[in-house]
Amino acid sequence: MSTPAWEEFAELALKRIAASGAEYGDIRVQDSSTEHIQGEDRRIASIRDVKDIGFGVRVLYHGAWGFAASSILSLEEVPRVADLAVEIAKSSASVAIEKVRLAPEPVHRDRIVTPYRLDPFSVPLEKKTDLLLNTMALLQRKSGIARSSASLWARRDRKLFVSSEGTQVEFDLLAGQGECTATALCEGRFASRSFNTPHLRKGYELIEETDFLREAPHVADQAVEKVKAPAVDAGRYDLVLDPEHLSLTIHESCGHPSELDRVLGYEANYAGTSFLTTEKRNNFRYGSRHVSLVADNTESETLAGTGYDDDGVMCQRWDIVRNGIFVGYCTNREVAPKIGESRSCGSNRADGWANIPMVRIANIGLEPGEATRDQLIADVKRGIYIEGHGSYSIDQRRYNFQFGGDAFWLIENGRRTHMLRDVVYHGITPEFWSSCDGVADRSFRQRYGFITCGKGQPGQSGWMTHAASPARFRQVQVIRGEGSS
Amino acid sequence: MTVLNGTWPKLTNSDEFRFLSDLVMTRSSADHTIVSLRDHHAGTTRFANNQVIQNVDARRGSLAVTVAFGGRHGTAGTTDFTAGAIQDTLARAERIARISPVDPEYLPPPEPCQFPVREPAKPETMTAGPAKRLEYANEAIGHCRMENIMAAGVVSSSSTAVGIAADNGLFGYEQRADARFSLTVQAGDATGWSAAAHRSIDHLRIQERTLAAIAKSKRGRDAWELPAGHYPVILEPAAVAGLWAWLIWSLDAKSYMKGTSPFAGKLGQAIVDERLTLNNLPDHADLLGEGFTHEGLPSTSSEWIDHGILRQLTYDRFTAKEHGVNTIPTLEAPALSVEGPQAHSIQELIRGAEHAILVTNFWYVRPVNPRDLTLTGMTRDGTFLVEKGEIVTPIRNFRFHESPLQAFRHLTAWTAPMEAVTSETGKMLVPAMALPHFHFSSVTRF
């Protein structure tokens, strides 16, 4: 957890901010450790253990922001950086038109710790490298597999957030993930198939609860089947999408357009804006009645479930889409008042001490329905079942998207038959979600996390989790993902 | 205290890096020890809706230590440069290396060599602080306010001390700086865009680029919707760069050797139009050339595609050694050129087109099929229909589904190479080009 020195640094920075006449300030001191073990083609290619320590000071002066950060944690550097943040805020204020006004938030004093059974940083390294080597050996035991990879990733973030309003929160957060991939070669073609745990805030038990050695032969079998599978014929198909695949669809087509800073133009030069403009709230049909998308940053083990965000706002649960109607946004203390909200929903996060926090997608998930997965498939005459992530792209207002996947099976007359390759589907977001006519029940619900969600200038990587049960979409346009004929 | 003029912080200098690396070397018990430095100071002034929304300045110094015992290796990193933290970092790297499995592809550090001396740290960029960035941001915002249209963008500058040292005497140290400007202007539903990156902050050409983005947005109002399909295109430099970036990123030699590359079997063969040549030009004043790579290899001029023929691949050191490649080429300063008579400007390309789609930029370009390098992505910030040598109307943005290996197989016309950078690519020199066929697979709502 934080050290007495950190609290001393925070006090020092906040005193400088108060003396400047600024209306608000905060400091985040953070010590992050990342262990990343990467295997490639039956060897351990790299083991990296990186510590990243520093602090960032944010100042709001006469309605304008300034931010400065440094990796030097010392009694000399802290006031220097705090003063720089104040000076930058003052220069921003000199050209400000619309002053920033923060939504009120109660003062919190708290300590957040990720519950875990096994500390990933204490698990012997040999155990981890053995797991990866054995997994890759199993992947490449299959005839036709040309390449393999496997990796383990773990991160610990110790953080102290202190604001000029009196909020002080200590964090000791863990996250982890493991994955493996096999690549098959056949007649000059190649195709990959992957298996991974979700990124979750758990200890090494996340890896131990996953049987990579049991999964590896299936992964290899499916890679070989995939490379030999027939290419899809373009046309309209019913799609049944598995939870991991849906996590990306939700992220791109619901998560990003629900970020209020995008709606207000803050990201116009980079990540883009949003078609979910403010007049659409509470009256725009985003999807069918089967579609309810809920943001839940209170769910345990999720990446955005950190107790508090980087505004010091307590994590919350709220609706984004209710029974198909768009109803809510992801907000922070700066943008929430701009649409008349009295409180931020707590979605302001930075990817570390060196960056200023901004609105981030929450843990948005698709609410379960009542069907079973087999029932969803049984009612499909000609369709495709899609698992995992593949190619993805979406326009800057989040209308026109295109997704691939990691594995595809043809559905004929209610039965999943053989694999297909090169399946890509595209659509327009509200039309696509309006074609959803069934979601499987809660027993099929799975969660998948994202740690590389790019946004902001300078670019930052956002973390969040998306949960879903399998869902069915009718008559979606599918094209073949090759050539340009 | 006034720090807005860019006097803070003082980056790690060459002597200090040598001291730090010597500290590691003298305490290391490993067979091989490599120390790398990245001390980065960057600031960004970000604006939207014609006002500053974010103004940041950050410094992160980081040191990485890689050690090896035989073929067992490990790496540890830290941002704490105190003696105790550096000792701890070395100890962590050694602990990893001692229990790592032997890596059959491990190679000792490269032999010491004389790295090319370049000047990637322009003083005007190194000393540019928040005040300079704000001045440039205000210049762009001011032009947009006068036109009553909305500006969003960034002005950024950064300086980085980079070093590499190994216990065999390898030593390299360089300071690099770059400045960037990008701007999206919104005129109703239409947008215009421009961007620049340069070693010198004085070469961002804020006014010229702002006026270009404004002009583009003004022409973008009341867009027509055209059906998806195959069209002749005129790709502005940013759009060309967006496609070529993926071609360049796919040149991995190991994938090539293992048959999992779109170029498998094509080394020495024509992969694009025979008039196209791709070079690495690290000494070019408008490119972001460097003296050495993160592995401690010198960056040199090299030819990658010669008159359409693929001549080079991107090698890791092991694959290079395995295949007898003695000099590993780098490609951090790509320059694409076309042999033959050039159009003098993009306007001249437009005047020469009977029927074409003019594309300003592509966005969210991603691979669809790694076998044939089919990519997808959207047009963005200015897409127009050209008829009989004139822009006749803005059109709604298309999604494309196309491989650069197909699209650039034949060129119709081109300009001289121009500076190009996008939010998804590094800096390049590429011509604007007219292509006879390009596949747009769907259209969006705006």
- Residue B2: the pLDDT is 47
State the nearest Cα–Cα gap between B7 and chain A, in angstroms. Answer: 11
Residue in chain B lying closest to A98 (CA) = B51
Question: In CATH, which of 3.30.2000.10, 1.20.120.80, 3.20.20.30, 3.30.2290.10 is domain B14-213?
Answer: 3.30.2290.10
B48–A266 CB contact, under 8 Å: yes
CA distance B306 to B270: 9
- pLDDT band of residue B1 (cuts 50, 70, 90) is very low
CA distance B377 to A457: 21
The mean per-residue pLDDT over the stretch A346-362 comes to 98
The domain limits of chain B are 14-213, 222-446
Query: At a CB cut-off of 8 Å and minimum separation 6, what does B259 contact?
Result: A146, A185, A188, A190
Write the pLDDT tens digit of every residue in B56-66.
999 999 999 99
Q: What percent of chain B has pLDDT over 70?
A: 98
The mean per-residue pLDDT over the stretch A60-69 comes to 98
Q: What is the CA radius of gyration of chain A?
A: 24
Residue in chain B lying closest to A403 (CA) = B368
Q: What percent of chain A has pLDDT over 90?
A: 98
State the nearest Cα–Cα gap between A65 and chain B, in angstroms. Answer: 6
- Residue A483: the pLDDT is 73
pLDDT at B428 over 70: yes
Name the 3-class secondary structure at A336.
helix
pLDDT at A1 over 60: no
Chain B residues inside the 8 Å CB shell of A73: 80
What's the pTM value of the predicted model, to 2 decimals? 0.97
- pLDDT band of residue A485 (cuts 50, 70, 90) is very low
pLDDT at B3 over 90: no
Residue in chain A lying closest to B184 (CA) = A269
Sign of CA dihedral A96, A102, A108, A114: negative
CB–CB contacts below 8 A, A to B: 275
Write the pLDDT tens digit of every residue in B315-328.
999 999 999 999 99
CA distance A95 to A244: 46
Name the 3-class secondary structure at B361.
strand
A46–B75 CB contact, under 8 Å: yes
**Rounded (10°) CA dihedral A255, A256, A262, A268:** 180
State the nearest Cα–Cα gap between B439 and chain A, in angstroms. Answer: 6
State the nearest Cα–Cα gap between A81 and chain B, in angstroms. Answer: 9
A95–B138 CB contact, under 8 Å: yes
Write the pLDDT tens digit of every residue in B121-171.
999 999 999 999 999 999 999 999 999 999 999 999 999 999 999 999 999
Q: Which residues pair with A53 in a beta bridge?
A: A31
A67–B48 CB contact, under 8 Å: no
- Residue B111: the pLDDT is 97
B443–A96 CB contact, under 8 Å: no
pLDDT at A484 over 80: no
Contact of B40 with chain A, judged by CB distance below 8 Å, is answered with: no
DSSP string, A43-100: EEEEEEEEEEEEEEEEEEETTEEEEEEES--STTHHHHHHHHHHHHHHHHHTT-SSPP
The mean per-residue pLDDT over the stretch B177-190 comes to 96
The mean per-residue pLDDT over the stretch A311-334 comes to 98
Domains of chain A: 4-228 (3.30.2290.10), 235-480 (no CATH)
Write the pLDDT tens digit of every residue in A126-145.
999 999 999 999 999 999 99
CA distance B225 to B187: 18
Residues 352..381 of B with a Cβ closer than 8 Å to A: which? 363-372, 374, 376-378, 380
Residues 327..356 of A with a Cβ closer than 8 Å to B: which? 354-356
Write the pLDDT tens digit of every residue in B261-316.
999 999 999 999 999 999 999 999 999 999 999 999 999 999 999 999 999 999 99
State the nearest Cα–Cα gap between A176 and chain B, in angstroms. Answer: 18
CA distance B141 to B53: 12
State the nearest Cα–Cα gap between A280 and chain B, in angstroms. Answer: 16
> Which candidate from B51, B77, B443 shows the least CB-CB separation from A95?
B51
Write the pLDDT tens digit of every residue in B19-77.
999 999 999 999 999 999 999 999 999 999 999 999 999 999 999 999 999 999 999 99
CA distance A399 to A275: 7
B154–A269 CB contact, under 8 Å: yes
Chain B residues inside the 8 Å CB shell of A479: 401, 441
CA distance B251 to A238: 37
Retrieve residue B223's tokens.
């867009």
Residues 157..196 of A with a Cβ closer than 8 Å to B: which? 183, 185, 188-190
Residues 45..64 of A with a Cβ closer than 8 Å to B: which? 45-54, 56, 64
B401–A67 CB contact, under 8 Å: no
Burial A389-416 (b: 16+ CB within 10 A, else e): bbbbbbbbbbbbbbbbbbbbbbbeeeeb
Rounded to 5 degrees, φ, ψ at B370 are -70, -10
A39: left (phi over 0), alpha (psi -120 to 50) or beta: beta
Q: What percent of chain A has pLDDT over 70?
A: 99
- pLDDT band of residue A24 (cuts 50, 70, 90) is very high
State the nearest Cα–Cα gap between A198 and chain B, in angstroms. Answer: 23
Contact of B84 with chain A, judged by CB distance below 8 Å, is answered with: no
pLDDT at B248 over 70: yes
Q: Is B355 exposed, middle or buried (0-12, 13-18, 19+ CB in 10 A)?
A: exposed
Name the 3-class secondary structure at B275.
coil
State the nearest Cα–Cα gap between A409 and chain B, in angstroms. Answer: 18
- Residue A482: the pLDDT is 86
> Which candidate from B46, B60, B259 shows the least CB-CB separation from A354?
B60
- pLDDT band of residue B5 (cuts 50, 70, 90) is low
Write the pLDDT tens digit of every residue in A412-426.
999 999 999 999 999
Q: What is the CA radius of gyration of chain B?
A: 24
State the nearest Cα–Cα gap between A208 and chain B, in angstroms. Answer: 20
Return the residue in B34, B50, B52 with the most chain A beta carbons within 10 A, the one to mutate for interface testing: B52
Residue B165, CA distances (Å) to B63, B169, B300 in order: 11, 7, 19
Nearest to B136 by CA among B153, B148, B119: B153
Retrieve residue B47's tokens.
């604006």
Retrieve residue A161's tokens.
């957030």
B364–A393 CB contact, under 8 Å: yes
Spacing of C-alpha A136 from chain mean position: 27
Q: Which residue has the tokens 């769907």?
A: B442
- pLDDT band of residue B9 (cuts 50, 70, 90) is confident
Residues 292..331 of B with a Cβ closer than 8 Å to A: which? none
Chain B residues inside the 8 Å CB shell of A44: 100-101, 103
Q: Determine the residue type at A83.
A: D
Residue B79, CA distances (Å) to A31, A50, A228 in order: 10, 9, 48
Residue in chain A lying closest to B48 (CA) = A266
> Which candidate from B53, B104, B369 shows the least CB-CB separation from A266?
B53
